[in-house]
Amino acid sequence: SAGGPGVNCDNNPVDPIFKFDRNTGEILANFGVGVFVTPHGIYADTEGNVWVTDFAGNAEGTKGHQVHKFSPTGELLLSLGVAGQPGNGPDHLNQPNDVIVAPDGSIFVADGHSGQNLTTDQQMDDARAAGLTGRI
């Protein structure tokens, strides 16, 4: 809820992502159970893929602090960041809030807690000096 604690999906048996037909309201797909702790930002790219940030980690340190890309039907295609391990080192994200994909395919992640720049070849660079945070 707005201003309250995030929804903990870690042990919830319900899919946290639903795709609806915008004209009829019919559920076209639902997916994501078992993947997230606290899904936060969501973006659908021009190919219909769904990108979702997972803001927090679970107690076991096995999920969270990642960005996940799903196919239009809900197949997990890609995960960025190290599951359950926040940080500002190589390949880590720290509480990613949102994600967007530019027309040229560049991926941008709002990850203000790590101050990192994750390039498309998945190498992390310190971007603090350049004023960049969370750019993938």
- Is residue 121 in a domain? yes
Q: Domains in the chain: how many in total? A: 1
Q: Model confidence over 20-53: pLDDT tens digits? A: 999 999 999 999 999 999 999 999 999 999 999 9
What is the DSSP code string of the chain? -TTSPPP--TT--S-SEEEE-TTT--EEEEE-TTT-SSEEEEEE-TTS-EEEEE-S--TTSSS-SEEEEE-TT--EEEEES-TT---SSTT--SS--EEEE-TTS-EEEE-TTT-EEE-TTS-EEE-TTTT--SB-
- Is residue 20 in a domain? no
- Is residue 73 in a domain? yes
- Is residue 2 in a domain? no
pLDDT at 62: 92
pLDDT at 5: 60
- CATH number for the domain spanning 75: value is 2.40.10.500
Q: Model confidence over 52-107: pLDDT tens digits? A: 999 999 989 999 999 999 999 999 999 999 999 998 877 889 999 899 888 888 88
Domain limits at 75? 38-126
